[in-house]
Amino acid sequence: MLSPKIISRYQSGTLTNLRSLGMLTLGVMQQVHGMSLRAVQGGAGHSVASAFSPAGAIDAASSRVDGARELYNDSMHLVSGYLIDLVKVAESQWALSHRCVHASLQEAHHWAPREMDIFVSALDLALDAAESTTENLADAAVLVAKRLGDEADVLSAPVKQVAAPHSAHG
């Protein structure tokens, strides 16, 4: 049987991870709200008269494209950062669960008949393999999230105008 101290530490750590997850999610929701307001304000900032004049229409369209590009970049970085932080919380919870299960296996090993030693050792090895796999998946998730942020930088970069080639007749 697990000691009350181990159970208490597990429950306390789990509550800490849940709080972290809640605070992380609330922070992201606040940032999404701010981006939504920016998008609405960016679209409402152009007058109807300027949108119907040729120069005003071009300026308004250019401004909207730049605003959309910036908003896209910010949102992708927000998603990327959220995923990385989410993986950190998940890793923390996994490590906590891993320690608790190992403590349970040690207790089982202590109290189980000698014939069960091989079975308990096999479970311990399986748990270690699962931990290694989970760490690899977490590392892959972080790499994907970072790549997402990098792709956002590339996709939201302003398109460079290519200068028309000069005429050779000059």
The answer to the question of residue 163 being in a domain is no
What residues make up the domain containing 29?
A: 4-155
The answer to the question of residue 40 being in a domain is yes
pLDDT of residue 57: 58
Average pLDDT over residues 86-110: 85
Average pLDDT over residues 134-146: 86
The answer to the question of residue 82 being in a domain is yes
Determine if the pTM surpasses 0.85. Answer: no
Which residue in 17, 8, 21 sits closest to 100, CA to CA? 8
Which residue in 83, 4, 73, 70 sits closest to 42, CA to CA? 70
Distance (Å, whole) CA 128 – CA 121: 11
Q: How high does pLDDT run on average in the chain?
A: 79
What's the domain count of the chain?
A: 1
The pLDDT of residue 170 is above 60: no
